[in-house]
Amino acid sequence: MFVTTSARQAIAIRSSTIVSRSLSSCEPAERLKCIFEEYRQKNYSRETPKRFKKELIKAACTKQEAGEVVGMESLNQILINIGKPDQRLTEEDMNQLLGEFGAQNNNRTMSIDNMMKLI
């Protein structure tokens, strides 16, 4: 059976969407996973998903007293940088993510471990 590249991509997107839905009940988290997976398949197709996640976290990290963390605003900046400014997180989306994945010291950041779970 011969499968075209576009068919493989469609299958991968569908399967990643199904997996992401099962991992979180948070709608903004699911939306981010789908956006980042689509971007990874288009622009990082030769890299492993884990390598892509590391690159994404590296771009989103900020240094604070407690170590490196990921700020909510940096996620919006990444969405702008990858050409998805219309998919930016609203204040309500950010609050949902922080509620599900845990804020650190009420400063609207999450740990790198939680960011890995998110994406």
Q: Which tens digit of pLDDT belongs to each residue from 7-24?
A: 555 555 554 444 444 445
Spatial distance between the Cα atoms of 43 and 39, rounded to a whole number of angstroms = 6
Give the CB-side neighbour count of residue 105, counting CA atoms within 13 A: 9
Yes or no: say if 29 and 101 are a contact pair by the CB < 8 Å rule.
yes
Q: E strand or H helix at 16, and its extent? A: helix 5-23
Average pLDDT for residues 48-69, to the nearest whole number? 81
Model confidence band, residue 62 (pLDDT cutoffs 50, 70, 90): confident
Taking residues 96-101, what's their average pLDDT?
83
pTM: 0.70
For 68-84, the pLDDT digits (tens) are 788 888 889 999 999 99
Residue 74: Cβ within 10 Å count:
17
- Using the 8-state DSSP alphabet, how is residue 89 labeled? P
Mean pLDDT taken over the chain? 78
